Chain A
Amino acid sequence: MADHHVVIDNLVKTYPGAQKPSVDHVSFSLPRGEMLALLGPSGCGKTTILRMIAGLIAPTSGAIRLEGRDVSSIAVYKRNLGMVFQAYALFPHMTVAQNVSFGLEMRKVSRAEREERVRKALDLVKLTGLGDRKVNQLSGGQQQRAAIARSLVIEPELLLLDEPLSNLDAKLRDEMRDEIRDIQARTGVTAIFVTHDQDEALSMADRLAVMSAGRLEQVGTPREIFDRPQTEFVASFIGAGTFFEGRVAEPGLAVVEGLKPLRFVGEAPVGSMVKLMIRPHRLVLAGSSGLPNSFTGTVEHIVYRGQMLTLNVRCGGRLLQADLPTHAGVLPEKGSEVTLAVAPQDVTLVGQVAP
């Protein structure tokens, strides 16, 4: 942890008069140049964490370390962090160039150098030549770019982005997603962004920190989070899946009511109740797959999605969701009986159930 660029250490925020903390002992860290997504439903405390790092609100306890130095008591205007606000917060009484130049003026950078750096920053975000525009003459995507240029021109220790894509329409969102990722990679700035959109988080971030109700649920690469969710919340918040509760009969084997025993991979004491999850796309038609876990049931609902066929299979009193590739041979029809199978490593242990 010591060599990490940004370290968030046991951060707590309890608002006055609140029953429980909005942010509850959250710790994570980022190496230099990493992009981390703070992901969670609204009200989970992710924006509060971002604003504490920024210095816009004071933590109740805990530390925020940049290069090993605790900055949690340093005034916001001395922290040298870049922030892109959700609504961009561009100054409406200034031109684009004046907006970008503002942070440099505050740092008493000479006029010649300011002009040079503003020009470079505008080039970086592809706003070349638009410096003299008024802010309200820019489109939403251009405003976003201007806000990014303004926060990067000061060469911040850390770039913070608050729901960076939420104010853009769908087409622009995909474009800006790649753009932000590209700019971050080119400048090598360490970045944290807040989002409630799992696709955004999975596709943009090097690592994700998933939050729920003020607590950190899991930190990991997109792959780890998606394929190996450690808690039921993470499993259900990111991606779809079917959940089972079962009792561990022997290591790696759980008995689930109404189904054949399920083989899974993961450590759980024999006799305990566990929660297991299967992603829809991990299920295959049993046929000759030879996989140990199989489910036989009736197709209750079917949705054709081009590359994918989504089935709801009624099996032992519960609904199992499966996504089958449409090139998978003879496809089941509604009302027919089907046998699906899944490998033990695709039955994910997502938590213990309290007895």
Chain B
Amino acid sequence: MSAAALPAAGASSANASRGVLLMLLLPGLVALVITFLLPLIWLFRASFASSTMGAFSGGDWTVQSYSAVLFDPFYWRVAWNTLVLGFNVAIFAVILSYPIALFLVRTESRFRGVLTALAVAPLLTSSVVRTYGWMVILGDRGVINSTLQSLSLTGGVIRLTNNSFGATVALIEILMPYAILAMLSGFGRLNPQLEEAAAMLGANRVKVFTRIILPLSAPGVLTAALLVFVLAISSFVTPRLMGGGRVFVLGTEVFNEATVTLNWPLAAALSVMLLILFSSIILLYQRALRALET
């Protein structure tokens, strides 16, 4: 109202507040440019360089790394493995986290804060440590196999590690806290009163869930799925340790090319392709989210 009455003063104060906003953004922007944008540009440039052992020579531009990746069926398989791993991890992490997040949002227990902290407490330990934990559980002489054998339920060893199964299981558990956190913040539209209203209109518990809770929690579920998917396809420690060198995903291959084979341009090209994968997934996500919310 005051802006309408005093347009000049309103405009200048808007300008001033925009200036303040920019000033507030500046430190973050500078940090982002230095730590994110510049390395990204460097990565992009490196992916077009010719491969030299363990170094990066500027100057020439070549697409040899890209053609090496695109014409090698191995990398197509790696990309496929990565997508499958990401989808599996995202789906199971979301399915397992959904009831927990739903409980934490809806409970009236006074321990709600403690329970929420407990649910995300695994984030306090390194994912490497937790991966080793899973190796102890799933290993050939691990808890599961030795229990099964001592009960004489199985003849031989069931392979649970050194394959994509182990990597998937460990990643699901490691990424579940992120899924829970994303859902907790994404369940804002859930409201017990809406469920009561639906019940008053004749909806039983199943109908309340399918018609009210599920659609209203869908944006949170989608966000959680995206987050877990992105974290899963970019992970390399867990697939590498749990895969025992037999699971090839983009993350492990980038690591390999950069530190073992020392083919930095190839590693850079793989990273750029991972980035393209991310971007397209995020675009899909935004489209899906818009469809859900309108």
Is A93's CB under 8 angstroms from B216's CB? yes
Q: At the interface, yes or no: B198 with Cβ under 8 Å from chain A? A: yes
Q: Evaluate whether A89 and B216 lie within 8 angstroms (CB atoms) in the complex, with A80-B202, A103-B202, A106-B202 already known.
A: no
Q: Evaluate whether A93 and B215 lie within 8 angstroms (CB atoms) in the complex, with A85-B196, A87-B193 already known.
A: yes
Number of interface residues, chain B, beta carbon within 8 A: 18
Q: Evaluate whether A106 and B200 lie within 8 angstroms (CB atoms) in the complex, with A85-B193, A92-B216, A93-B215 already known.
A: no
Interface centre among A75, A77, A103 (most CB of B within 10 A): A77
Is B200's CB under 8 angstroms from A107's CB? no
Is B200's CB under 8 angstroms from A102's CB? no
Is A102's CB under 8 angstroms from B196's CB? no
Measured in the bound complex, the distance between the Cα atoms of B190 and A91 in whole Å is: 10
Q: Mark B179-212, 1 if CB is under 8 A from A, else 0.
A: 0000000000101011011111111100100011
Which bracket fits the contact residues of A? 20 to 34
Chain B residue at minimal CB-CB distance from A92:
B189
Q: Mark B200-233, 1 if CB is under 8 A from A, else 0.
A: 1111100100011001100000000000000000
Is A89's CB under 8 angstroms from B201's CB? no
Is B199's CB under 8 angstroms from A77's CB? yes
What distance in Å separates the Cβ of A334 from its nearest Cβ neighbour in chain B? Answer: 40
Measured in the bound complex, the distance between the Cα atoms of B207 and A77 in whole Å is: 10
> Which residue in B193, B201, B204, B215 is a CB contact (below 8 Å) of A102?
B201
Residues of chain A within 8 A of B202, CB atoms compared: 77-78, 80, 103, 106-107, 154
Residues of chain A within 8 A of B216, CB atoms compared: 92-93
Q: At the interface, yes or no: A253 with Cβ under 8 Å from chain B? A: no
What distance in Å separates the Cβ of B218 from its nearest Cβ neighbour in chain A? Answer: 9
Is A103's CB under 8 angstroms from B191's CB? no
Measured in the bound complex, the distance between the Cα atoms of B207 and A75 in whole Å is: 14
Is A77's CB under 8 angstroms from B204's CB? yes
Measured in the bound complex, the distance between the Cα atoms of B204 and A294 in whole Å is: 65
Measured in the bound complex, the distance between the Cα atoms of B196 and A151 in whole Å is: 12
Measured in the bound complex, the distance between the Cα atoms of B201 and A154 in whole Å is: 8
Chain A residue at minimal CB-CB distance from B219:
A93
Is B189's CB under 8 angstroms from A82's CB? no
Chain A residue at minimal CB-CB distance from B215:
A93
What distance in Å separates the Cβ of A188 from its nearest Cβ neighbour in chain B? Answer: 20
What distance in Å separates the Cβ of A144 from its nearest Cβ neighbour in chain B? Answer: 14
Residues of chain B within 8 A of A77, CB atoms compared: 199-204, 207
Chain B residue at minimal CB-CB distance from A51:
B196
Chain B contact residues, CB within 8 Å of chain A: 189, 191, 193-194, 196-204, 207, 211-212, 215-216
